[in-house]
Structure 1
Amino acid sequence: MPLVDVVLDAAADTRIPSTGINSLALLAQYADANGIVGPDEEGRSLADPRNVAAHLGAGASTVTRAFGMLEQLGYIRWTRSWKSGPHNRPGSVQIIQSRSVAA
């Protein structure tokens, strides 16, 4: 399923608030053909809700909740980043193109 169809399906899903739809549309702009989302023009990771929030002019906590909902409903696969002392693991986001419809 092309990325645009995933975004359109999400837009028609009444369970997803506008921030979720806007976040998914932004992620789709930076995704490759496999749905893997790359960095923005400034090299910032879009797996970090704070960076998506900056693009959308939304709050980071609102985008974090939207990511969680999109993941729960099967629209994205989100690996959260974490820092532990000197160790750093970057996050990742992938738009799921062959998702099963969640009830």
Structure 2
Amino acid sequence: MKTIQAHEVETQYSDLNVIDVREADEVAEGKIPGAIHIPLGVLEYRMNELNKKEAYVTVCLSGGRSSQAARFLENQGYDVTNMEGGMMNYDGKTE
């Protein structure tokens, strides 16, 4: 599984397709601008909203759920990178 550091996402988020797999109450506290919110529990049912020709970065609170999401999507043929440390390590802009 590919990984990316939070500080790299902070400077590149506008050029990245970010998938936030946290629950709605967590996302309400702030998410990376432009991130797609797909909770991990429904990812299997909503992955058809993603394009296999694009690359994605998965994000959660600490990196655990997003690594599960990255592995799942990778096994389905998607190009996915996990943000290590999750939002706990992210100091960039949020919306």
TM-score by length of 2: 0.33
TM-score by length of 1: 0.31
Bigger strand share: 2
Greater relative contact order (Cα < 8 A, sep 6+): 2
Greater Rg over alpha carbons, structure: 1
